[in-house]
């Protein structure tokens, strides 16, 4: 059997993470290499390699909904935050399992790259 990716291992409970949300479809946990005071990953439980491979799905709406809820819980919703999805090598994606970055807690740079 192919080795599972790190996020599948977190979903399976094999690798610890600091969870902020868990439901049947989606989990959210703190990024191990935070780029901002609040840096949370919102991740589908299903192994979808990237946003480019999502196809027709309501999942992206669910991921954004969870990110918004977690932003509220973290107390950053009013000040504002950024949601980022990297796709593929040149898009800066390192972990090949779809995830959404929720970043906030400081004034983020205006640059998109």
Residues forming the site for ligand DGP (CB under 6 A): 6, 15, 17, 29-33, 41, 86, 92-95
The whole-angstrom separation of Cα 93 and Cα 106 is 23
50 or 68, CB closer to ligand DGP?
50
Give the chain's largest Cα–Cα span. Answer: 45
Catalytic position from the list 21, 47, 97, 99 = 99
* Shortest CB 81 distance to ligand DGP, Å: 15
DSSP assignments along 11-67, one per residue:
HTTSS---EEEE-SSEEEEE-SS-SSSEEEEEEESS----GGG--S-SHHHHHHHHH
Whether residue 39 lies in the annotated active site: no
Nearer to ligand DGP, 31 or 62 (CB): 31
Give the residue with the Cβ less far from ligand DGP, 16 or 61.
Answer: 16
By annotation, the residues acting in catalysis are 99
């Amino acid at each position: 059997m192919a080795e599972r990716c790190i996020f599948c291992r977190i979903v399976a409970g094999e690798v610890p993470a600091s969870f902020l949300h868990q439901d049947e479809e989606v989990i959210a946990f703190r990024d191990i290499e935070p780029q901002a005071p609040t840096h949370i990953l919102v991740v589908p439980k299903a192994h979808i390699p990237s946003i480019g491979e999502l196809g027709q799905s309501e999942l992206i709406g669910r991921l954004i909904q969870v990110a918004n809820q977690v932003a509220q819980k973290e107390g950053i919703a009013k000040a504002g935050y950024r949601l980022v999805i990297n796709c593929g090598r040149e898009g800066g994606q390192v972990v090949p399992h779809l995830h959404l970055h929720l970043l906030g807690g400081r004034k983020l740079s205006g640059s998109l790259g």
